[in-house]
Amino acid sequence: MKVLIIEDEPALRNSIQEYLTHQGYICELAEDFKQAIHKVNEFDYDCIVADIGLPLGNGLDVVKELKVLESKAGIIIISAKDSLEDKLRGLELGADDYLTKPFHLSELNARVNAILRRKKFDGNTTITFNEITIKPASKTVLVHNKSITLTGKEYQLLLYFIANQHRVVTKSALAGHLWGDEYDQAGSYDFIYTHIKNLRKKMLEADGEDYIKTVYGTGYRFG
Amino acid sequence: MVKTISKPYMAPDTASVKISLTVKKDTRSMKLLTKTMVYFLLIMLPVFTAGAFYLYATFNKEIKHETDEELVNDKLQWMRYLDTATISNPVFAINTPEFNLQPTDKPVQTKHNLKGVNIYQEPEDTYAPFRQLTQVITVNNRNYQLTLRKSLIEKDDLIKNIIHVMLAAFGGLFLFVLLSNWLISKSIWKPFYASLDKIQRLQLNKLENTVFDRTATHEFNQLNAALNNMTTRIHQDYTNIKELTEDAAHEMQTPLAIAQSKLELLLQDDSLSETQLKGILTSYDELQRLSRLNHNLLLLAKIENQQYPVTDQPDLCTVVEKYLSLFEELIREKELQIHAEMIATAPWPLHPALTDILVSNLLGNAIKYNYHLGHIRIHISAQTFSISNTSELPQIPSDILFQRFKKQHNVYTNSNGLGLAIVKKIADSYQLSLQYSYETGWHTFSAGIYSAING
């Protein structure tokens, strides 16, 4: 899977590259508008992560160019501007998702993952992690080919964990993923523990292995 | 006689204009025109009184003078008659109130003597004023004291007449002033009130469209020119500050994003000790708090600038249901009882993003500050929305209720103290009413569409 990261801040560009590479993607980089236009014209990508504010141009124009090229790549816009107009405009132009800075790398990775699944396989794919099989189309989860019943939030958690497998995922990233902008209304992160406890219990009951590990109270690691 | 009526209209002084602008809310203040009218009438009152006294004195003098002339005339005719009359009776006396002739031993006077006297009137049982002429004259070589009198009884009528005329004139003037005030306020002050109306409806984000037009009055032109200058300057400053704030907030997000991503990557390092990881996590969480804070301050600024136009009327019930399901786990964890009383649809004239914030902040607080097995009551009618919750927290003092960064407690570290300030800002910027009340453990926040109250 090839991902193009268009971001002018080198430190952020490298962070994204490091995280996504570790998750198994092949990452290419573009640091300004000209490079970005050049690369999308020259190569095919599965996913493009584009910043809006770029030297020599605008990230939204890269999205336009991709549409002109009839590219099938998934597009995620990342912007420092939490502006509704920008978001709507980006999605209108054909972007698949919009993420406001600052974001959790695990969240960006999960979104890249979801877009690729949707785009590449029209959602008709199964996600497999050892004995766990997930069918996103029907939202069913099988452990050792035995169906288990998860709540909506537990299902979301499992998907997030598998997308970010082998990485430490912080509680705040999980809370942000499950509750979006309203996660600071929650009061504390304690409720995440309850969800994880339930998810773990259900998987263990289906004779699955215990993949969710608590990491020194900083967060969780799957697998 | 009624010359004093046509007093010129007093020009309004500019100092009063200022007063009427600055103390607009003061109920003791009055309209400039009313004020000038009151002053005008207060000045006119002594003028009219003095005029009445002057008229009275003048007429009194005139009547006295006329009466005296008549008396002298009468005296001459009497003397002529007495001289020519052949009187056998050597000594005689005539005594009437009007004419009195008595023999006297006093020497003959060549000049008559005039004075005012009061004489008792039997039928009316009062004293009446008279003018009296006295002179010692010679008739048939005998000296007589001649006394002639004339009544001044018309004087009373005169005073009555003067008072009547003055009252009529004053009343007429009063009506005249009222009428002219009304006409003047209709025409001359029209541009002033137009400008005032414009100032009152002024909105910071719509300043560029505000132009104070030229008028036919020099002073108003000066005022409007000054206002135009002022609004242009304010608009420029406002735009600059707004851009600066927004740019600063946006620029801050990028370094935050970099720092956060680096810390997230560091957390992946297995070789770090638990203490090191905890330090990293704390920094990571604090960075996020900073970013939320920045986000919320920016949101406050945007709401204040009315950057969320009312384009849609989202259904409040749908929004509440959405957040009830989003917060489902939190509600279940605290085992809260939700009592919702909602009508089928309640479209609210608010931007969808703001409707979300309004509901999530109020509902979020109701859950966050509730206790285990507590209750939440939600009531939605066509134009009101209220959330009540039980809580162990005491009543929130009204002076800090909606203030930024005023946390009511330090138990909940996840609060940034901006939630209610944002709700308040939404209400203020979009003409919603917002009330808070507390009663025996129940905290209630109610929002309402203003037209529901104002009809």
Tell me how many degrees the CA angle A198-A204-A210 measures, rounded to the nearest 5: 95
Task: State the average pLDDT over residues A10-35.
Answer: 94
Report d(CA B401, CA B421) in Å as an integer: 8
pLDDT higher than 90, residue A31: yes
Residues in A touching B364 (Cβ below 8 Å): 182, 185-187
* CA nearest to B359 within chain A: A182
What confidence tens digit (pLDDT) does each residue in B232-277 have?
A: 998 888 888 878 877 787 788 889 999 999 999 999 888 888 888 8
**pLDDT of A63:** 93
Q: Does B65 touch chain A (CB under 8 A)?
A: no
**pLDDT of B22:** 42
List, in sequence order, every residue forming a beta bridge with A4; answer none if it has no partner: A28, A48
* CA nearest to A217 within chain B: B278
Report d(CA B406, CA B383) in Å as an integer: 29
Query: What is the per-residue DSSP string for B39-55?
Result: HHHHHHHHHHHHHHHHH
Q: Does B411 touch chain A (CB under 8 A)?
A: no
Range B35-63 burial, b when 16+ CB lie within 10 A, else e = bbbeebeeebeeebeebbeebbeebeeee
Residues in A touching B251 (Cβ below 8 Å): 80
Can you tell me the ipTM of this complex? 0.89
Mean pLDDT of chain B: 81
Say if the Cβ atoms of B330 and A101 lie within 8 Å: no
Indicate the residue of B268, B288, B333 with minimum beta-carbon distance to A167: B268
Distance from CA of A103 to the nearest CA of B (A): 6
Q: Is the peptide bond prior to B12 cis by the omega test (within 30 degrees of 0)?
A: no
Say if the Cβ atoms of A216 and B274 lie within 8 Å: yes
Say if the Cβ atoms of A12 and B257 lie within 8 Å: yes
Residues in A touching B258 (Cβ below 8 Å): 9, 11-12, 15, 102
Query: What is the per-residue DSSP string for B41-93?
Result: HHHHHHHHHHHHHHHHHHHHHHHHHHHHHHHHHHHHHHHHHHHHS---SSS--
Work out the widest C-alpha separation in chain A, in whole angstroms: 56
Report d(CA A57, CA A30) in Å as an integer: 13
Count contacts between A and B (CB, < 8 Å).
Answer: 122
What confidence tens digit (pLDDT) does each residue in B198-230 have?
A: 888 887 767 777 888 888 889 899 999 999 999
What confidence tens digit (pLDDT) does each residue in B401-418 have?
A: 887 776 655 555 556 678
The residue behind tokens 């990233």 is A173
pLDDT-based confidence at residue B19 (cuts at 50, 70, 90): very low
Q: Does A98 touch chain B (CB under 8 A)?
A: no
Distance from CA of A17 to the nearest CA of B (A): 11
Distance from CA of A23 to the nearest CA of B (A): 12
Per mean pLDDT, which range of A9-13, B91-95, B291-295, B296-300 is the poorest? B91-95
Report d(CA B354, CA B305) in Å as an integer: 13
Cβ-based neighbours of B247, under 8 Å, separated by 6 or more: none
Cβ-based neighbours of A57, under 8 Å, separated by 6 or more: A32, A33, A34, A36, A37
Asked if residue B311 lies in contact with residue B351, where contact means CB atoms within 8 angstroms, the answer is yes
Asked if residue B195 lies in contact with residue B168, where contact means CB atoms within 8 angstroms, the answer is no
Closest CA to A177 of B262, B360, B326, B365: B326
Closest CA to A51 of A115, A98, A2, A1: A98
Say if the Cβ atoms of B264 and A15 lie within 8 Å: yes
Task: State the average pLDDT over residues B95-123.
Answer: 83
Cβ-based neighbours of B52, under 8 Å, separated by 6 or more: B162, B163, B166
